Amino acid sequence: MNRIFTAILSILIIVGCTKVAGNDLLWLADSEPSVSCKVIVDPSLDLKNDGYIIEGSPAERTIKAKTQVGALYGSYALQRLQAMGKAEGRIYIKEEPAYERRILNHWDNLDNTVERGYAGWSIWHWGEPVPTDLILDYARLNASIGINGSVLNNVNATPEILRHDNLERVAQIADIMRPYGIKVYLSVNFSSPAALGGLENSDPLVPQVRQWWKDKVSEIYELIPDFGGFLVKANSEGLPGPQDYGRTHADGANMLAEALEPHGGIVMWRAFVYSPKSPDRANQACEEFTPLDGQFKDNVLIQIKNGPVDFQPREPFSPLFGRMPQTQLMAEMQITQEYLGFSNHLVYLHPLFKECLDSDTFCDGKGSTVAAVTTGKIQPDVYKTTAIAGVANIGRDSNWCGHEFAQSSWYAFGRMAWDPSLTSEEIAREWLTQTFTDKKQFIEPVLDMMLTSREAAVDYMMPLGFHHLFAWEHHYGPEPWCEIEGARADWLPKYYHKADAEGVGFDRTAAGSGNVLQYHEPLASIYNDLETCPENLLLWFHHVPWTHKMKSGLTLWEEICLHYDRGIKKVQEYRNIWTAAKPYVDAERWETVNAKLAIQEHDARWWRDACVQYFGEFSGLPVPENLEQPQRPLPELKKIKLNMKHHN
């Protein structure tokens, strides 16, 4: 039977908050919406998950939902519609989330450092009093864009996260976020039974090990009844895993799934694996996981990075998305800008995310996009749940993300996880309007800046399929010449660019590493042929002669130089746009962004100077005279070594 949600006043207070305490510059900041309307929570409604209906005219508007959280989402949606000027007159809107679980992965450590974090220390304040107000603000912001899960700690997990005192703290955090529909998850270290529990080993087929995990999971659920589950990085980059005992990824994941299953928890098992023995790091995930298709329990999802290597400015989608039809798969995006200029560069990441989700795997014919696969549309009988993950860019900085515009990628991830069909322009326009102003003179040029920023970054960093040319360890700035004694080959740029006097690029054709064969037709043939391969992935799949004629009529070398030059010019254009935007932005935010854009232009030139001079040593060709010439000599650039082990 329909009933009026008795806690309507609480919803209105939450949605109507006009400031985020101590951090008042986000998309909820300056709106004072009037959302005085009837809210009906009715479990019998024909809605999936936490969907909602908004209907009626302003005078008699109603929000309907099956759950209280759904009603909260509907209230935030109405606020957004009002801010965008789309709530006038009679409306009927029915929305349901495309993914059941929309999760942020925090790579936060117990010492409060954040791996690949560029916005200050961990917001969880490990070892300090629980920051209730800060976590409330975090929960509100996430609920406003539909995010409903948070993995609190680093995938490079330590066993100590499962100590009882730490679990009690996790329970406190869960209690704060629960009213906003956010479940907590934890990353776990596979060797915890031995390292924390004192067992002889952590072999997943040993009964005592399995029992240890069951007992630990029961302990967690006693503290956190709605605990979401575990995220696991195993047998990757030196971390322990089931292969240490001659077992498979399925053996390890299923052991944890068995412990979580009675409580409704899930396992998100990362596919980020690569062995130094593999001829191509891009091949490794498929090599290890496709033989295990169909062997995972129903509460296991394989979490796959968007591309086959590692969050590069541009990669093709991971072929694994099209190779495990009997296994639940989920995408992992990186919101934090590990490879895109940290929090110094303005790079709106939704175009990158959408490029992956819209990619057609052809695993079940045309239209089998990554989004269609991971939302369960291709194999609905296989998917008992669906999920998507984003590696968070959040810290204690006053603007949360280190760069005012980095907030937009957090916002975009949440909106995309709810509705993958939204365009980059729609989401960026929402964020700009709610965060700054609705003035067209501001919105239109700054919107163009956001929408072109990812491509500009690719141009001035690694155009045409270049990848992994970054500085050692911290990944800030160029170092295509990097040599580290004793380092694995696939941790070094030369493994990827393979530049020589003849040409440049990684041969992943059928005659090379065979990576193209992991894709379904027609992609395998398209990528395999130098003439049909998309030029923005050319050097990813082919070793190309410097004098190869591109579609523009330029040689490859000329095209490379042109892209670097174009990237710099684009950032110069952004600086002019931001100067013109000054009347529409408060002084503090304008100055902050302006200073960051100056750094971004400097870095773009640094990338150009380093890469065109370095690769010019192989090509033996000059930078075309019609382009700006390098400004800093290569020997000087090779001396740059930045001490950036921790990024806080």
d(CA 417, CA 244): 35
Q: Can you point out the beta strands (E) in 370-491?
A: 387-391
Cβ count near 274 (within 10 Å): 22
CB neighbour burial string for 439-456, b if at least 16 within 10 angstroms, e if fewer: eeebbebbbebbbbbbbb
Of the residues 219, 226, 237, 628, which is catalytic? 237
User: Strand 52-56 and strand 62-65: pairing?
Assistant: antiparallel
Go through the chain and tell me how many residues it has. Answer: 648
Q: Any long-range contacts for 553-560 (C-beta under 8 Å, 24+ apart)? A: 556/464, 556/503, 556/504, 557/615, 557/619, 557/621, 558/624, 559/463, 559/464, 559/535, 560/463, 560/464, 560/611, 560/612, 560/615
Q: How far is CA 271 from the centre of its chain?
A: 15
Q: Is 50 labeled as catalytic in the residue annotation?
A: no
Identity (one letter) of the amino acid at 278? S
Of the residues 108, 203, 280, 310, which is catalytic? 310
For residues 628 and 568, is the Cβ–Cβ distance under 8 A?
yes
Token pair recorded at residue 642: 């930045």
- Segment holding 207, helix H or strand E: helix 207-223
Tokens 């609480």 locate to 10
Of the residues 100, 338, 397, 565, which is catalytic? 338
Identity (one letter) of the amino acid at 20? V
d(CA 598, CA 425): 25
Q: Is 617 labeled as catalytic in the residue annotation?
A: no
Sign (positive or negative) of CA dihedral 361, 364, 368, 371? negative
For residues 364 and 420, is the Cβ–Cβ distance under 8 A?
no
- Segment holding 116, helix H or strand E: none
d(CA 338, CA 7): 42
Report the chain's C-alpha Rg in angstroms.
25
For residues 486 and 327, is the Cβ–Cβ distance under 8 A?
no
Q: Is 310 labeled as catalytic in the residue annotation?
A: yes
Hey, which residues are catalytic here?
237, 310, 338
